Structure 1
Amino acid sequence: MTYRPLHDGWTLSSQDIAGLAATVPGCVHTDLLAAGIIDDPYLDDHEHRLAWIGRTEWTYRTTFAWSPDEHERTDLVCDGLDTVAAIELNGVRVGSTANQHRSYRFPVRHLLRAGGNELTVTFGSAYAYAEEWRAALGKRPGPYDEPYPFIRKMACNFGWDWGPTLVTAGIWRPIGLESWSGARLAEVRPLVYPDGAVDVRVRVERTTEGPLTLSAEIAGVTAERIVDGRAAALSVKVPGPELWWPRGLGDQPLYDLNVRLGDDERRLRIGFRSIELEREAFKLKINGTPVFVKGVNWIPDDCFPSRVTRERLAERLGQAVDAGVNLLRVWGGGLYESDDFYDLADELGLLVWQDFPFACAAYPEEEPFRSEVAAEARENVSRLAPHPSLVMWCGNNENLEGHADWGWQDRLEGRSWGAGFYYDLLPGIVAELDPTRPYWPGSPYSGAPELPPNDPARGTIHIWDVWNREDYTRYAAYRPRFVAEFGFQGPPAYATLRRASSDEPLTPGSVHQKAIDGQAKLLRGLGEHLPQPETFDDWHYLTQVNQARAVTFGVERFRSLMPWTMGTIVWQLNDCWPVTSWSAVDGDGRRKPLWYALRRAYAHRLLSVQDGDLALVNDLPDSWSGELHLARRSLSGAPLAKEVVAVHVAPRSVTRVALPRSVSVPDDPARELLTARLGQLRTVRFYAEDTAVALPGAAYDAYAERSSGGYRVIVTAISLLRELAIFPDRLDPDASVDEHLVTLLPGESAVFQVTTAKSLDAGALTSFPVLRCVNEVRP
């Protein structure tokens, strides 16, 4: 068996553009950008002038030399075509496609010529295809006036409340020729069990009948059998396997599984672990151990996925790990991610919740969509089966809630909306192909079709009254079982914003903002928590601080309810372009203040004031004991009352300590604060919102000194310093800092490590607007 990639020599043409050099894998937008025909759609308002690309027919063309070989079959293997494509080889139609979410294989040996060959892939307009089917099947309700439910393509290409409308086309994953004889492994699907058993299921494509030898080897254990047909199963058992655990609970040992059929061999990595889902409580158990999910939602990291390399994924998933995250939810408006994504999750111990690609809209169930959905689901459930990180399949994002609560039923007038997918087709495919993993029909979902889908008492909920209408303190009114979406917006890093906008000077309006009434919600969300900004610099800082506080408030609230609540999945980890959004890491990969706040809120141990108590959250397998030091203090740091309480927190549990009245009730809420310390962990809580606190003018000593990899910035508080932060990307776009949003009492110091390869102005590094705090005296 041989494989030859066909990635060279491609050109791109349309009715108005001829012979443009094209990159494969890639897409039309990136080729046009590389040729200088379009401006970068991520900058300024360029996006709005590019709608024509998604309404144009595009042709990719290449030539290649071929010579006959000893094999019986040669297939054109297309790992990803986006989306409505017609393929021709030497002028003969090979096949057509209409699904970005699956791969295709076409037999072409009979069309190949000794010498030169020409391959063309013509992409029809995704808009034209989707709009034609919408007209034929009837419009379906959704959040945007876009036809994405009528094409099996990444939905957020058509725009979202955080993403641009950039409707792509192109050969977005590898394409090549595979030659083989006799038989090949069309599918290898291992079902893995914690006792060491591996059931290897295979599908075989063959050119001849007769017996074939199938073998599997893992950890020195080998099994084989004779295969006569086109499907077979083979069992192998590893004695005493080391179990794979999510990060924070153990190690992630991975085993090489080699499966061979004749000359065809597949090499997979698997891990041994069990998964159990308690449905009403929505509690995940891995290897019998309940896991409190500290999750983030994942969206496509770029509107043009061919640009997302393994290195970029490693950086992004590493940022998740460093923030204390143990689960990524791959959101249903995007993609089944690349093999690299799941490989990295396996290695890092990140659990993966995988949505099927349906989001926020009613979807037609008629043909050709039912067959396309079945084909993509079968392929991807089988493809992802080896990965121990993948722990759940979910039917859709918010479509069950939409049908129940968003007025869809009257608008549908009896038309299909996706129920047959979520309650029948998809669970049937998962049960058939991957019974080792649970399936959940959608999120939010309460466990049964007849129940209100967003009921906090059951299953998963999404909380969006906060941000859209309510102050973030409303999180305290919830007592959910599992929160699969919640979040709050904040702008990207300064350097990201500066790169994306040519405005002089920058204003809040310089930032891409896709959410309805988003700018007003940002300001309204400051509420009584923080002052209303008068300058761009204050707007940028205060709205970032408020985003971090809002999400921290929610995470701490929900973690304090463990084991009733067993998971939070923050919306969202990442962005696909420079934009004001709910992300912790912005579209240029820079960590926002939210990321640092999330790292504290997702730490294994947490102190949090809740309803007059102090919640001590211990998510480690060891108990947590010691003396809890409580103090009511003046803003100068002087103690007004002290209490010491002996505490013991059992492993993976929460203990609540009632705050004595001496420290819980201030004499003057505007001039006092509470500190709680247990060992090295401390929390500071104010008795009033910042706008009602008599915050002193910021007074501090600060200096910067050279250190390995950059600078150490030492800040010593003379007065109370509230939410002290350093933004070194204002001086060097590549600079970063190790900590953010630190509150210091008078006399306390903080050391910030700034990483940069450049020489920075030490004075600029220790002054406004790089060094910020809420109570600073602004010039």
Structure 2
Amino acid sequence: RSRFFSEYGFQSFPEFESIKRYAPLSEDWNLTSEVMMSHQRGGTAANKRINDFLLSEYRQPKDFRSFTYMSQLLQADAMKMAMEAHRRDMPYCMGSLVWQHNDCWPVASWSSRDYYGRWKAQHYFTVKSFADLLLSPIEKENTLQIYMVSDRLKSTSGKLTVCVLRLDGNGVVKEFKKQITVPANTSTVIWKEAVDGLLNGEKKEDVVVHVLYEDKTGKKYTNNYFLAKQKDMRYAAARINKDFVPTEGGYEVTLSCDVFARGVFLSLQGNIDNFISDNYMDILPGETVTVKVTTELPSLQFAERLQVVSFSDAVEQ
């Protein structure tokens, strides 16, 4: 707790396509290679810290490409946790400044964008964590509390939905809906429930809590909360369906999955200039997510180069 957080951060590697620009040889794709150590300002201890946290909180990545992806998800989750805690604590805490935004050369670092301008997972998470309205669930003493944090200068009203979903796609465990009023410029607990009641006999490792707020204008705010550590979550193998259609400046890509897919990451293989409107997303079972990919690639090459992975693809089974 603090009145104002002026600097905090956590390191990650750039995405693998960025790394290949300064480390094109496969023999250099490991944490202790001379190239990787030359592109790590914090030295051996910094890479060890990333890896130690991965093994403590997540699982063993199956290869170096997966390690770089998971390091970004770890960084994003760590920063999301901090940002939400700071905002829930308003008005005691009224400031939160992230270290850091970008890099002056290609490197593993605390940045949320890499040297080449690609957004890391943290940058996508930050956009949502610093939105004008934030839904933030937190478990305290076996009770799930949902905070609504508002930076708006007027109160707002809308519909809150709290849904406990099975990760394997086999239905809803519990669902709650209510109309709420959100006070202006404050943090408020708008809903709470005993965790045992939420689970309805299911295990924490088998469910995700999805929260949704839709204000009276139709704008939606969402968040997902896990009741167990990521390394204990029993994510099913995610076979993600993808379709795309050309649009001005690139393509709209629509993704879906029969099971809960954690941290879905889109990338274009090769040194291709592109921007993806949202990334490292969670996809709910049976629902679709559509993102815009800005690129000049023709359709055939886009289809060949588009890669989609999730948490279950990156870990040793």
Choose the corresponding residue for 2:183, options 641, 646, 650: 650
1:490 and 2:12 equivalent?
A: yes
Distance 2:191 2:113 in 1: 36
Choose the corresponding residue for 2:204, options 640, 662, 669: 669
Larger Rg computed on CA atoms? 1
**TM-score, reference length from structure 2:** 0.87
Choose the corresponding residue for 2:258, options 718, 743, 750: 718
Distance 1:778 1:556 in 2: 27
What is the CA deviation profile of residues 297-340 of structure 1, one whole-angstrom value per residue up to 9, with x for unaligned ones? xxxxxxxxxxxxxxxxxxxxxxxxxxxxxxxxxxxxxxxxxxxx
Distance 1:774 1:715 in 2: 15
Q: 1:698·1:777 contact (CA, 8 Å) conserved in 2?
A: no
Closer/same/farther in 2, CA of residues 667 and 492 from structure 1, 3 Å limit: same
Deviation at 1:644? 2.5
Deviation at 1:778? 7.9
Question: Per the alignment, in what secondary structure is the counterpart of residue 189 of structure 2?
Answer: strand
Tell me which residue corresponds to 2:112. 584
Distance 1:716 1:631 in 2: 19
Distance 2:99 2:199 in 1: 33
Distance 1:696 1:746 in 2: 11
Deviation at 1:505? 4.4
Closer/same/farther in 2, CA of residues 704 and 643 from structure 1, 3 Å limit: closer
1:573 and 2:85 equivalent?
A: no
Q: 2:60·2:315 contact (CA, 8 Å) conserved in 1?
A: no
Tell me which residue corresponds to 1:602. 130
Q: 1:632·1:666 contact (CA, 8 Å) conserved in 2?
A: no
Distance 2:28 2:278 in 1: 26
Deviation at 1:490? 0.7
1:676 partner amino acid: V
Question: Per the alignment, in what secondary structure is the counterpart of residue 583 of structure 1?
Answer: coil
Structure 1: unaligned runs, 5 residues or longer = 1-478
Closer/same/farther in 2, CA of residues 684 and 506 from structure 1, 3 Å limit: same
Distance 1:708 1:731 in 2: 22
Q: 1:697·1:777 contact (CA, 8 Å) conserved in 2?
A: no
Give the percent of matched residue pairs that are identical in Structure 1 and Structure 2: 25
Tell me which residue corresponds to 1:705. 245
1:514 and 2:44 equivalent?
A: no
Q: 2:148·2:188 contact (CA, 8 Å) conserved in 1?
A: yes
Question: Per the alignment, in what secondary structure is the counterpart of residue 279 of structure 2?
Answer: coil
1:590 partner amino acid: R
Distance 2:94 2:211 in 1: 25
Choose the corresponding residue for 1:503, options 17, 21, 25: 25
Distance 2:201 2:185 in 1: 32
What is the CA deviation profile of residues 410-451 of structure 1, one whole-angstrom value per residue up to 9, with x for unaligned ones? xxxxxxxxxxxxxxxxxxxxxxxxxxxxxxxxxxxxxxxxxx
Choose the corresponding residue for 1:628, options 142, 156, 160: 160
1:619 partner amino acid: D
Distance 1:705 1:506 in 2: 37
Tell me which residue corresponds to 2:217. none
Deviation at 1:657? 2.8
Question: Per the alignment, in what secondary structure is the counterpart of residue 695 of structure 1?
Answer: coil
Q: 1:637·1:745 contact (CA, 8 Å) conserved in 2?
A: no
Q: 1:720·1:745 contact (CA, 8 Å) conserved in 2?
A: yes
What is the CA deviation profile of residues 729-753 of structure 1, one whole-angstrom value per residue up to 9, with x for unaligned ones? x334312211111111211111121
Question: Per the alignment, in what secondary structure is the counterpart of residue 660 of structure 1?
Answer: strand
Choose the corresponding residue for 1:695, options 235, 256, 263: 235
Distance 1:581 1:646 in 2: 43
1:557 and 2:92 equivalent?
A: no
Question: Per the alignment, in what secondary structure is the counterpart of residue 67 of structure 2?
Answer: helix
What is the CA deviation profile of residues 130-180 of structure 1, one whole-angstrom value per residue up to 9, with x for unaligned ones? xxxxxxxxxxxxxxxxxxxxxxxxxxxxxxxxxxxxxxxxxxxxxxxxxxx
Tell me which residue corresponds to 2:309. 772
Distance 2:293 2:271 in 1: 11
Distance 1:633 1:736 in 2: 31
What is the CA deviation profile of residues 75-113 of structure 1, one whole-angstrom value per residue up to 9, with x for unaligned ones? xxxxxxxxxxxxxxxxxxxxxxxxxxxxxxxxxxxxxxx
Deviation at 1:637? 5.8
Deviation at 1:527? 4.1
Q: 1:703·1:762 contact (CA, 8 Å) conserved in 2?
A: no
Q: 1:631·1:663 contact (CA, 8 Å) conserved in 2?
A: no
1:748 and 2:280 equivalent?
A: no
Deviation at 1:666? 6.1
Distance 1:753 1:483 in 2: 33
Distance 2:176 2:243 in 1: 36
Distance 1:637 1:481 in 2: 44
Q: 1:663·1:674 contact (CA, 8 Å) conserved in 2?
A: no
Q: 1:571·1:582 contact (CA, 8 Å) conserved in 2?
A: yes
Distance 1:724 1:752 in 2: 12
Tell me which residue corresponds to 1:617. 149
Deviation at 1:535? 0.7
2:295 partner amino acid: T
Question: Per the alignment, in what secondary structure is the counterpart of residue 11 of structure 2?
Answer: coil
Question: Per the alignment, in what secondary structure is the counterpart of residue 616 of structure 1?
Answer: strand
Structure 2: unaligned runs, 5 residues or longer = 215-219
Distance 2:10 2:69 in 1: 15
